[in-house]
Amino acid sequence: MEVDGQSSTKGEEEKRKAIVVILVGAPGSGKSTFCDHVMRVSTRPWARVCQDTIGNGKAGTKTQCLASAASALKDGKSVFIDRCNLDREQRADFVKLGSPQVDVHAVVLDLPAKLCISRSVKRTGHEGNLQGGKAAAVVNRMLQKKELPKLSEGYSRITFCQNESDVQTAITTYSALRPLHTLPSGCFGQKNPDAKIQLGIMKFLKKVDAPVKAVSTGHSLQDSVTTEITKENDSCCKGPEGIKAAAGKEVKEGEDLAVGSVDGTSSLNNVPTLAFPSISTADFQFDLEKASDIIVEKVEEFVTKLGNARFVFVDLSHGSKILSLVRTKSGQKNIDTDKFLTFVGDITRLYSGGGLHCNVIANAANWRLKPGGGGVNAAIFSAAGPALEIATKERAGSLTPGKAVVVPLPSTSPLFSREGVTHVIHVLGPNMNPQRPNFLNNDYIMGCKVLREAYSSLFEGFASIVRSQEILYEKKTERIEKHGSVLSESPVDFEISHTNQLSSTDQKVKREAVDESEKNKRCKGFQEELRPNISGATDGKDNAKNEKNSRTMSKAWGPWAQGLYRIAMRPEKHDDVIEISDDVVVVNDLYPKAKCHLLVLARYEGLDQLPDVGKEHLQLLMTMHEVGLKWAEKFLNEDGTLVFRLGYHSAPSMRQLHLHVISQDFNSKHLKHKKHWNSFNSPFFRDSVDVIEEISNSGRATLKDDDKLLSMELRCHRCRSAHPNLPRLKSHIGNCQAPFPASLLQHGRLVLAPNKDGSNQ
């Protein structure tokens, strides 16, 4: 037993990840106090690196800080970087301390300047001697250069603290970190700026109305916006909302930490994931040791059956005994930590509160399948709204111990739209509480049998959802093949990547398959198509209504459609990116449909397509348009005969909001099908300036995603003459001298070289 214990300890040491926490804040924001509070109570070994004291108690250099931090990491400690770090350049070298074994976090103490100045002026005996009257001027000067960090700098997690309550929450989070704990990736706490944009957007549109001037002078469109608009931070930023726990306890963002590495931004997005609480150990008072044995036994059984699917065991408290038991026993069984995770947080806010994507959640239900009572049942019914109760009634009226029922969640439920939950599985376990129905009077032989049945029923229900997803992928493959594309791999493995290490022939086959399928089929996504195949809960008009509603929700995308998303989130890993900024990435279209065809990708998590865009994203849309115009201008300087159009597809096949910047010659060997042509020359293509104006006025863009638009007859985009096939059309447009239609020449929809009127000269 001692040998096993030693082996387990060694394994834990290998899995331990150090953390570098870069504190960002003005003097007086509380950086040193933050470190002191955490280091006083944390069981994780920490080292504080402070530039004010790095030189034998006196101020030192940044180089000394870097050396000290590297030494502490080598000793197995996590590190606080206690400097102001108010601009990106000051932080960059510390971010480079990150590695596969070291996560880099930022904690931003973005407190009001008045508070920081007041603290700095009043304090005495400060390590860096910044106190008294001179402090105010220093703080003001430093805050003028403040540049808030973004995930694109290389952080795995950023926590923004904008008041003292936020700071205390962050202190609690890091104080609770044990040596093997990690925190979910993402950006937490930053509020969207309250920018007044109407005046700015109208002036922006006026500037777009004059493309000749913009191109000839080279002015940035931003110059036309006189209203100050603050840039948004990454869209994955989410405030640390208090979460109403089932037992009446308040659980905050700081408590949402995972055991095992959880990448909330990517790794769980496309993997079927079930989040489940402990069944029967709370209200039904089942013995925790026996329950934990059964949980681990059943997880071990099903985790091998379900392949790529994942299980997440959830509890509200770090002090949960059942969570600790399950974690320990699963470790002893060597269950793959990529397939089975434990997670501390509210099961109804796993994504918004902790960055964890779970498309299925389990409910420890009562036999009546009714809301109310306490615990998880009350919390899930409350979070899901009336839609869950109605959908549950359509599936079952009651539940017997040991059984489960799968309930597809309507798109009208807040759990669907906010958390991405597509199904709730109600499950009922055995009862050892004499105050509850079906009391077993401590008969643990029967109780254990029923609890095993309960987890088996739960996991079988999840398996049915996973199998249905696989069937959908198979159907998608058949559709692609039917349209003449060649797929050499399964849809799950079929992914587009600019840096796939394949032979040139294999890479061409893969990319060609994506190119052919991008317009011939539009990925409807797991959330839209799975419900009718599983539920049987809706039909006819209700089903059609749900389909319509779900288009405005964030859908799940097939793995092959993730190429642009990967580039946007990790552009540094892709060699053929031609521009990177905090907000956008620019790439050439892999299979351009014209001489010049590039894509401007939004670097915002959660913005997959136009239906995801609202008024809060106006500044981003303007930035994307400005970048697109800049590149159009560059091309026009090289070839003045070109004409450009900037716009979005109403229903793209590839995930991640992207703006097409495409020349109107359409001279390309990759323009092969009617749907290719109509996707750029019908109402299916939404001009960028129109989208910006509609979002500004009504908060959403008008979308034309009818399949009929893509199958319309082929018409010249200049003279509107009809043609029987694409070769005839391409031959015609190569010689057509007609001016562009008046509708395109208005409102800045076309970007032309100076002195051009839209006709060939």
What the block records as the tokens of 205 is 């549109």
Q: Among candidates 365, 397, 367, which has minimal Cα distance to 379?
A: 365
CA separation for the pair 227, 217 (Å, rounded): 22
Number of helical (H) and strand (E) elements in the chain, helices listed first: 26, 25
What is the spatial distance between Cα 282 and Cα 373, in angstroms, rounded to a whole number? 12
Coil, helix or strand for 126? coil
Distance CA 72, CA 82 (A): 14
For 49, list phi and psi in degrees, rounded to 5.
-110, 110
DSSP assignment of 143-188 equals HTT-----GGGS-SEEEEE-SHHHHHHHHHHHHT--TTEE---EEE
Q: How many CB atoms lie within 10 A of CB 508?
A: 11
Structural contact between residues 629 and 646, judged by C-beta atoms closer than 8 angstroms: yes
Contact 335, 11 (CB under 8 A): no
Q: Give the number of other CB atoms < 10 A from CB of residue 548.
A: 10
Q: Is 419 within 8 Å of 350 (Cβ atoms)?
A: yes
- The three-point CA angle 513-516-517 to 5° equals 85
Element (DSSP H or E) covering residue 424: strand 423-427
- Could you say which of 658, 660, 676, 717 is catalytic? 658
Spatial neighbors of 559 by CB under 8 A, at least 6 apart, are 270, 491, 492, 493, 494, 495
- CA distance linking residue 461 with residue 423, whole number of Å: 10
The C-alpha atoms of residue 663 and residue 650 are separated, in whole angstroms, by 19
Beta bridge partners of 601: 585, 658
Query: Do 558 and 525 contact (CB within 8 A), yes or no?
Result: yes
Contact 261, 350 (CB under 8 A): no
* Amino acid letter, residue 729: L
Q: How would you classify the pairing of strands 404-408 and 423-427?
A: antiparallel
Q: How far is CA 21 from the centre of its chain?
A: 22
In angstroms, rounded to a whole number, what is the distance separating the alpha carbons of residues 702 and 687?
Answer: 11
Partner residues linked to 103 by β-bridges: 19
CB 512 within 8 A of CB 486: yes
Cβ atoms 640, 753 nearer than 8 A: yes
Single-letter code of the amino acid located at 624: M
Neighbouring-strand partners of residue 342:
259, 313
Q: Is the separation of the CB atoms in 274 and 310 below 8 Å?
A: yes
Smallest CA-to-CA distance from 180 within 69, 43, 1 is with 43
SS3 content of the chain, % helix, strand, coil (to 5): 40, 15, 45
CA dihedral 152, 157, 162, 167 (to 10 degrees): -160
Q: Quick check: is 574 catalytic?
A: no
d(CA 245, CA 261) in angstroms, rounded, equals 24
Distances (CA, A) of 578 to 586, 654, 734: 6, 19, 29
Question: Are the CB atoms for 271 and 307 separated by under 8 Å?
Answer: no
Whether residue 183 contacts residue 257, with contact meaning beta carbons closer than 8 Å, is answered with: yes
At 76, list the tokens. Answer: 């197995």
SS3 729: helix
- Just list the catalytic residues: 658
